[in-house]
């Protein structure tokens, strides 16, 4: 009798997972693997804004490519500026930026000295200074530890703005290493993309990554006036989307040339701190989005939770068949996302990480519901 109840519950949660995947995740199959870029679109000046705190080494490695984007007449005349905010750095960040300014005249440095009174919490204060100092209405936001995929990164990210969009979400990838933690971080990042891309296709845009995001400056300044803007130290990217994104002014860019790449956390504790910050920012999502994401996370965990004991019951074969159908739905959609994001190497670990995501949800539940981080570094 007990196993029949467990089987019924398992079947119910698995059915919701299949329905959810069919309604949302299957939209990933509408994505063109190689979207084209119209190189003849009307170029408008762009301000790239980067916040940096003790990022001397990352700036040495990544900033030259940001400063050498192919964006201008014949790729020679620069039609963009790069605004780097040095936020109370105590390493060699100031020296690195000064040296680069001697070579790149379109690099502008804003320095926040120690002891400056902050009108916004955490990174939002540095970001507000960078946006205020920018000259142009097209903004491209990234981080000091992010390396553009190539010289056409800027073109790909702002092309939708020229077509009338106001918010462009790009993909912030992690560089691949051989560690299992790195593989799971990349898997979870790909999984997050699958969620926000298919929600966008369903008419429910809800997030972007500050590692790789373009928007209109006037829209960003309006977001800063919102009463919710200063509730946390981070989450500026998701707040802009939550406050202003709709079906007509938001899009997601998926061409691999539009990606940025950064190192994944080397230690589990560092990744946990990163996820704690990101998950608390989810409080800014609209109620419908939070409800649907919560439903997905709960049914995902419940499906695995009820499946395991059924493997030791007389109904193990029935449970395996039901789980196989559920996995075909989810794994097929994930495989398509991984292909688009150049992450096919993750597919052989998909069963392990699918199960691990259940543990992830249980472990981080307190941060989803309660905690609020007040610092960005």
Rounded Cα–Cα distance for residues 355 and 300 (Å): 9
pTM across the whole model: 0.90
Rounded Cα–Cα distance for residues 125 and 117 (Å): 10
Convert the chain into a string of H (helix), E (strand) and C (coil): CHHHHHHHHHHHHHHHHHHHHHHCHHHHHHCCCCCCCCCCCCCCCEEEEEEECCCHHHHHHHHHHHHCCCCCHHHCCCCEEEEEEEECCCCCHHHHHHHHHHHCCCEEEEEECCCCCCCCCCHHHHHHHHHHHCCCCEEEEEECCCEECCCCHHHHHHHHHHCCCCEEECCEEECCCCCHHHHHHHHHHHHHHHHHHHHHHCCCCCCCCCCEEEEEHHHHHHHHCCCCHHHCCCCHHHHHHHHHCCCCCEEECCCHHHCEEECCCCCHHHHHHHHHHHHHHHHHCCHHHHHHHHHHHHHHHHHHHHHHHHCCCCCHHHHHHHHHHHHHHHHHHHHHHHHHCCCHHHHHHHHHHHHHHHHHHHHHHHHHHCCCCCCCC
Judge whether 141 and 210 are in contact, CB under 8 Å.
yes
Residue 129 CB-half CA count within 13 A: 24
pLDDT for residue 362: 74
pLDDT tens for the 377 residues of the chain, in order? 788 999 999 999 999 999 999 999 999 998 875 555 665 667 899 999 999 999 999 999 999 999 999 997 554 567 999 999 999 999 999 999 999 999 999 999 999 998 888 888 888 899 999 999 999 999 999 999 999 999 999 999 999 999 999 999 999 999 999 999 999 999 999 999 999 999 999 999 999 988 999 999 999 999 998 888 877 766 778 889 999 999 899 999 999 999 999 999 888 878 777 777 666 666 678 899 999 998 999 999 999 999 999 999 999 999 999 999 999 999 999 999 999 999 999 999 999 999 998 887 777 665 555 544 445 45
pLDDT for residue 37: 62
Cα 47 to chain centroid, rounded:
20
Q: Was domain 46-197+205-274 assigned CATH 3.90.550.10?
A: yes
Q: Where in the chain is the domain with CATH 3.90.550.10?
A: 46-197+205-274
pLDDT for residue 372: 46
Contacts of 149 (CB under 8 A, 6+ apart): 256, 257, 258, 259, 260, 261
Structure tokens at 124: 């939002």
Judge whether 192 and 238 are in contact, CB under 8 Å.
no
Contacts of 358 (CB under 8 A, 6+ apart): 300, 301, 304, 305
pLDDT for residue 280: 63
Beta bridge mates, 262: 174
* Residue 149: how many other CB atoms lie within 10 Å: 20
């Amino acid at each position: 009798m007990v196993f029949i109840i467990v089987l019924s519950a398992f079947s119910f949660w698995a059915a919701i997972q299949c329905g959810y995947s069919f309604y949302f995740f299957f939209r990933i199959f509408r994505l063109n693997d190689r979207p084209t870029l119209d190189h003849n679109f009307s170029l408008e000046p762009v301000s790239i804004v980067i916040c940096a705190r003790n990022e001397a080494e990352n700036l040495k490695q990544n900033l030259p490519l940001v400063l050498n984007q192919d964006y201008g007449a014949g790729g020679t005349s620069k039609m963009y500026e790069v605004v780097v905010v040095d936020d109370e750095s105590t390493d060699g960040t100031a020296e690195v930026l000064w040296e680069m300014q001697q070579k790149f005249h379109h690099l502008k440095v804003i320095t926040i000295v120690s002891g400056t009174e902050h009108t916004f919490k955490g990174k939002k204060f540095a970001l507000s200074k960078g946006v205020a100092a920018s000259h142009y209405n097209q903004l491209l936001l990234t981080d000091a530890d992010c390396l553009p995929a190539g010289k056409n990164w800027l073109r790909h990210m702002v092309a939708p703005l020229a077509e009338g969009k106001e918010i462009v979400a790009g993909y912030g990838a992690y560089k691949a290493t051989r560690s299992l933690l790195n593989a799971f971080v990349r898997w979870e990042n790909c999984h997050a993309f699958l969620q926000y891309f298919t929600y966008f296709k369903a008419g429910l845009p809800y997030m972007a990554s500050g590692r790789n995001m373009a928007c209109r400056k006037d829209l960003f300044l309006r977001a800063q006036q919102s009463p919710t803007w200063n509730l946390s130290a981070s989450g500026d990217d998701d707040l802009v989307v939550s406050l202003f994104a709709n079906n007509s002014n938001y899009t997601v860019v998926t061409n691999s040339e539009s990606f940025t790449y950064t190192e994944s956390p080397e230690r589990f504790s560092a990744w946990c701190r990163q996820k704690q910050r990101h998950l608390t920012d989810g409080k800014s999502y609209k109620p419908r989005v939070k409800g649907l994401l919560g439903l997905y996370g709960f049914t995902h965990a419940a499906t695995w939770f009820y499946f395991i004991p059924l493997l030791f019951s007389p109904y193990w074969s029935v449970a395996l068949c039901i789980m196989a159908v559920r996995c075909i739905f989810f794994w097929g959609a994930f495989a398509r996302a991984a292909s688009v994001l150049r992450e096919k190497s993750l597919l052989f670990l998909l069963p392990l990480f699918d199960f691990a995501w259940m543990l992830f949800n249980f472990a981080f539940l307190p941060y989803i519901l309660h905690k609020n981080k007040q610092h960005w570094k």
